[in-house]
Amino acid sequence: MMRPEVAGATRALLRAANGLGSRGVEALWASASAATGVLAVHRPMRKWSSSGRERVIAFAPHPDDESIGCAGTVMRHRQRGDSVRIVIVTDGARSIALGLDRESMASRRQMEAMRAARRMGVDCQWIGLPEGDWSEPDGLAAIRSALADVVPTLVYAPSSLDYHPEHRRVARVIAAALAELRAEPEIRIYSVQVPLTPLLTNLIHDVSDIEAHIRSVFACYASQRESLTIALRLRHYAARFHRAAHGVEAFLSCSARDYISLHARPDATFRPLMIRAWTDPLAAFVGLSERLFWRHRAAGGRRYNAVSFMGARTGDSSQESR
């Protein structure tokens, strides 16, 4: 029988080997992504820009999803003079990190979310519904109220192109609130751990020059270190495909009407990136047929002129700028 100290050392060595191997595989997948980007026939791709007059909401199903999906973009909006509000829908209390009970975890994640928002320089509205235990009427009322308060021209949102039930559920409720309000902002779908892939990406934002600042935002979520590590891999792959230096935030821009319609569809099966990089390409291929449907329906690359609830048209932000 192996002595405990020997067994512990063996496990540590195996973990280290697994980590080193995973980083090597990540480099391989990144190189494959770069090669695919060179060979791919690119359709017209909008680059992020802003009029400086936008009213922006970024909805996060959990505390940290807003940072994973669009931290750099949120900061850039503020730099351009846009008004920005992050809305955290659930309290994230079902996370098993750190061995905390639900009440302690909810408190911890609220503190982390507020710290991250301050680091991004934006307002944070904490709805904080109990993760996994909220009713759709309660969620609908809270999200509808947030939309009516801001009257956004741009909404950054999760979608049902995801594996996580809370992400999907929040997305459906956002769609229902938009429908009730007859709101027509431009919707920009972000990914969390399931990539949109180049099939669906029609708006990109090269955030390589503010990567250090983005990492400092991620650092605010110390309890979610593993999921944030996955997010960095996803950004890295997108950067290699789009020939950027370090990080790209990729979005599917669509009309509110398309977002509402697509969230009436039944859920499809998707696969997230895992902690280790060994099977990362599977995350791009599982759910391919659903991505193709969405591409046909909402990702044609057309410019959608966002219209506020009151009918005021936003400035044209279709020009490329950084």
- Per-domain residue ranges of the chain: 46-298
pLDDT 10s digits, 107-129:
999 999 999 999 999 999 999 99
* pLDDT-wise least confident of 13-22, 47-56, 221-230: 13-22
pLDDT 10s digits, 170-198:
999 999 999 999 999 999 999 999 999 99
**Stronger pLDDT, 81 or 8, i.e. the higher one:** 81
Query: What is the pLDDT, as a whole number, of residue 308?
Result: 32
Radius of gyration of the chain from its Cα atoms, rounded to whole angstroms: 20
Give the span between the Cα atoms of 251 and 156, in whole angstroms.
Answer: 9
Q: Is the pLDDT of residue 307 over 70?
A: no
Q: Which CATH superfamily does the domain covering 46-298 fall into?
A: LmbE-like (3.40.50.10320)
Inter-helix orientation angle 102-120/65-80, to 10°: 20
Q: Is the pLDDT of residue 227 over 90?
A: no
Average pLDDT, the chain: 88
Query: What are the start-end ranges of the H helices in the chain?
Result: 4-39, 65-80, 102-120, 136-150, 165-181, 197-200, 211-218, 225-241, 256-262, 280-285, 288-298
Q: How far is CA 322 from CA 77, 157, 256, in A?
A: 11, 22, 25
Query: What is the pLDDT, as a whole number, of residue 40?
Result: 78
Residue 318: pLDDT band (50, 70, 90) is very low
Query: What is the pLDDT, as a whole number, of residue 11?
Result: 47
Query: What is the pLDDT, as a whole number, of residue 226?
Result: 85
Query: What is the pLDDT, as a whole number, of residue 300?
Result: 54
What is the reported pTM? 0.88
Q: Are 22 and 51 in contact (CB under 8 A)?
A: no
Query: What is the pLDDT, as a whole number, of residue 319?
Result: 35
Give the span between the Cα atoms of 246 and 111, in whole angstroms.
Answer: 29
* pLDDT-wise least confident of 7-11, 110-114, 241-245: 7-11
Angle made by CA atoms 207, 212, 215, in degrees to the nearest 5: 95
